[in-house]
Amino acid sequence: MDRNAFHTLVLLTKNIGGLSDSKSMSSNEKLAIFLNILAHHEKNRSIKVDYIRSRWSVSQAFNECLCAILKLTPLLLVNPKPILKDETEDRWKWFEGCLGALDGTYIPIRVPTQYKPRYMARKREIATNILGVCDRNLNFREMEVDPLDSDMKEQAEYQHKNIDVVESSEEWSSWRNELAQRMWYERTNN
């Protein structure tokens, strides 16, 4: 992040988010700590050493920034507009009513040893599946991560059941086939 973007974010968190300077820490430093923890997956212990602050101060700064950033969500996140019937672009007219695209990927993660079997991916990597939704301008609108704090007992019971076959529903298959046929028909007739 460059300096201008950082100072813009500081102004937004101060003016809209309500982030304020404290006796011993400026809002710039609080935001720098917050971004450092998020961007580099740092622990409070290492941030404590880097910024010469107590672990309590680091935790307080992180929580204050988180609250301020959450107040900015109406400003930073925009509701997507669905694709209309009278769409003029060829690549979008097939997706009437759609808000965007959904796709997933595996992201490597670090988890405690007892949870590693739950996060074992196909190639024996420890990873979690992240689903992302983006709009037609390729801007991310939502991300869904498999949470670590869900009911582990239920997950452990589920893991021992083997899935033999995964099939799509008849409704999905027929919709996909109709869409492909319409697209082929319009392409060959134009």
In this prediction, residue 34 carries a pLDDT of 93
CA dist., res. 59 & res. 54, Å (int)? 9
Q: What are phi and psi of 158, to 5 degrees?
A: -65, -35
Residue ranges of the chain with pLDDT lower than 50? 148-168
Confidence (pTM): 0.50
In this prediction, residue 54 carries a pLDDT of 93
The kind and range of the H/E element at 11 are helix 3-15
Q: Which of 64, 70, 72 is nearest to 21 (CA)?
A: 64
In this prediction, residue 169 carries a pLDDT of 56
In this prediction, residue 74 carries a pLDDT of 85
CA dist., res. 99 & res. 38, Å (int)? 28
